[in-house]
A and B are shown apart, each in its own frame.
Chain A
């Protein structure tokens, strides 16, 4: 029996339907990023057009850092709920007694978290760009629209989301309490953001090479994440609560 896209889709569609029936899930997911977009927009609007280029870069960089917080933090609570939440509501066992493989279950869960996360992150970034274009001084807007900034945002949004999702699911698969899983997951989503922050603040000299290397590392982590999480997904422990 090979990896089944049908089973992955069944899990992902079920999750998305659950979000649709409980709109607060997506509503609260989007609420925090809306606050995040306010602060950087205010920063852009308050910076003087005559400010020096290094200070301008710093302000823009800080604003864009807020944008990168979104894909890193937003999926963590949903991802942390994915396994332990099913277990707590008593729905994990019926799922696991079907022919589904743990990898299929995990990929289905990850896709269901990734879809709203990436949609929200890009939408918020769109709002930020629109605000910069319409409201900010043209010098500042030009700095925001500099090719590398936009590219970094577009590239790193799904990569950071992937990291946070896999870390969250991994924590969820090993936790016995949703609240603990969600708190740990938020913390665990931060390390890659630290690297991005160091780059934004030029502690690590930002260059195309560094960005690509970081992106490649995240890509590898994301691509292998499902295998790593599958390895720690212990069906027996999840069902019986005992360690094997």
Chain B
């Protein structure tokens, strides 16, 4: 992974706020280092003892149910609110009130709501933010940002006349203006229809291909699975972190799904006789067999079933989605709270 700046991704010059080198964009450094970060609002804990690292150029998914603390984490890392305890380094700068403006100059946050000035045109909105970032070559930067999100032809339109999807694109263009070292996207597809969602996904995928570091909070699991290199699951505390396939392996044993036309008379006798099968359970669609090596177990199970006269419809390794992982964890939390 490299620390290629977003401006480079957009085909532009490096930021007035600092180029890649001044951002600590070296591959061996982390864009985000979070250590035991906690935020409480009075007695209410928003998130607790959260630690993780995000490398430059990585797309990091931050998942969790509503109220899990995702947005509060983003706001804390964006210096909008102060942590109660713990520490963090954002784009190479220690998190702290005194470093707020410097951190905010090097990152961008696209909040859940686009927050555009609806009476102003797209261009006027972006000009305002270019001024707030004290950018040079304002016109060029705005053009590149608009081109990156495919809304160049709407530059003169009032934001109030744009569809929700287009407003989201303009908000993304605004977030790209300052060539951020880390781009925080907070529920970027929230409330969008499927077409607009797909468009935003394509934009994120394009940024990912170009090496922009993205911190994506979402509760859309297919979105995280499709776009993210690694994901973390937060439910006030950080429950799991890793690549989606690692999380699946961590939470679920490998297994085979067996579908046959009619139920077996004595499944215990049949599956128990196959050495590769470590356990079995009846499910509505057939049987799920716990195995260590599906590639070896599947032919053995097939032979045993054929030998027993069963009519096999399919034998396949069980696929657990990120959603299964997520629901498993959240269910565990619900159970723990009940107890």
Contact = CB atoms under 8 A, between A and B. Distances in A.
Interface of A: 1, 4, 6-7, 9-11, 13-14, 17-18, 21-22, 89-101, 235-236, 239-240, 242, 244
A90 B41 CA distance: 21
B113 A10 contact: no
A99 B177 CA distance: 13
B102 interface: yes
Given A6-B131, A13-B128, A99-B104, 17 more contacts: A7-B134, A10-B130, A10-B132, A11-B132, A89-B118, A91-B115, A91-B117, A94-B115, A94-B116, A94-B129, A95-B132, A98-B129, A98-B133, A99-B17, A101-B101, A235-B80, A239-B81
B124 interface: yes
6 contacts: A1-B105, A9-B131, A13-B128, A90-B115, A97-B108, A98-B133
Contact of A18 (B41, B75, B117, B178): B117
B119 A21 contact: yes
Nearest to A18: B119
Interface string B160-193: 0000000000010010001000000000000000
Interface residues of B, number: 37
Give the 7 A-B CB pairs with smallest separation, nearest first: A10-B131, A98-B132, A21-B119, A94-B115, A14-B128, A99-B105, A99-B101
A1 B133 CA distance: 12
Contacts of A242: 41-42
Contact of B104 (A18, A97, A236): A97
Contact of B128 (A10, A101, A239): A10
Contact of B131 (A7, A90, A236, A239): A7
B117 A14 contact: yes
Nearest to A98: B132
Contacts of A100: 101, 132
Contacts of B214: none
Contact of B81 (A4, A18, A235): A235
A99 B320 CA distance: 43
B109 interface: yes
Contacts of B72: 240
